Amino acid sequence: MEEKSNNFLTRTITIIIGVFLAFLTIFWKGFPFFIIVIIIALLGLKELYSIAHKRGYRPSYILASMLTLYFIVITVYDIHCFNYYIENIIITFIIIITFIFQLFKKDYSKILAELSITIFGSIYLGYLLSFILKIKDLPNGNYYLISLLIITWVNDTGAYIIGTKFGKNKIFPKISPKKTIEGSIGGIIFSIAGTFALKNWLNINFNELLSLGLIIAIIAQMGDLFESALKRGSGIKDSGTLIPGHGGILDSLDSLIFTAPVFYYCIIFLLD
């Protein structure tokens, strides 16, 4: 019991510090926020490939990093500095180089799997995470981005609190034995409550707030379960130890990776 209390305290302190740092970097005028996204993406990519190593796969971190950087940099300079012709040239050459590098491997039996992991990692941590920058670029984007972070994090907190206290019915026992239906419902309730608490920032009506909170909560939990499935397949508990009380970068951002693009398109739809 004491261990659970200490873990909850550590998780809570980490989230509070995370929110503070998010406020600091997001609202810091002139600060190149995309640098933070790049660092997070590359650290997450490193963790993801460590998971792959557990199963004997050796995807190319360098080539995946190039693809990840492409997705993020293109988002930053989207249309303003590059045109689609140049973008297509860049991505085409990166993909061809990725394929050519496979010729220099010692073991060709895993080329297909390792190439798939290389491309998957860049999509997972480059393309999907780049939506954070798209959200920030919206009108009042700073407030939207902070709202997304809070809604996603309170879902995690609510699921943890309710699941720990009242959880009995397993939701996906083969993937994550500790996750329960009760915890899932708790996460949804916390997310909806958080969404309504941020109504002045989101500036949408009652039904839209309710729908947004529900959608983000469900997608957040799917993102969490997806990353749990990756870890379960490799027989590990945490993706890393970088974030106190949460594990690694992937353990902390698994929900956000899924919710960022969904939140972006929800807001785009609501703004029309």
Residue 86: partners with Cβ closer than 8 Å, 6 or more residues away? none
pLDDT at 40 (0 to 100)? 92
Q: In percent, how much of the chain has pLDDT > 90?
A: 43
pLDDT at 6 (0 to 100)? 61
pLDDT at 98 (0 to 100)? 78
pLDDT in tens, 134-178: 999 999 999 999 999 999 989 998 998 899 889 889 988 888 888
b/e sequence 147-186, b meaning 16+ C-beta within 10 Å: bbbbbbbbbbbbbbbbbbeebeeebbeebbeebbebbbbb
pLDDT at 77 (0 to 100)? 73
**CA 56 to chain centroid:** 25
Alpha-carbon distance of 17 to 253, in angstroms, equals: 15
Alpha-carbon distance of 117 to 206, in angstroms, equals: 42
User: Which stretches of the chain drop beneath a pLDDT of 50?
Assistant: 79
Question: What is the token pair recorded at 203?
Answer: 């500036």
Domain boundaries, the chain: 1-29+140-272, 32-129
pLDDT at 79 (0 to 100)? 45
Alpha-carbon distance of 150 to 144, in angstroms, equals: 10
Residue 191: partners with Cβ closer than 8 Å, 6 or more residues away? 151, 152, 154, 155, 158, 213, 214, 216, 217, 220
pLDDT at 120 (0 to 100)? 92
Place of tokens 């500036």: 203
Asked if residue 188 lies in contact with residue 218, where contact means CB atoms within 8 angstroms, the answer is: yes
Indicate whether this model's pTM tops 0.95.
no
pLDDT at 76 (0 to 100)? 78
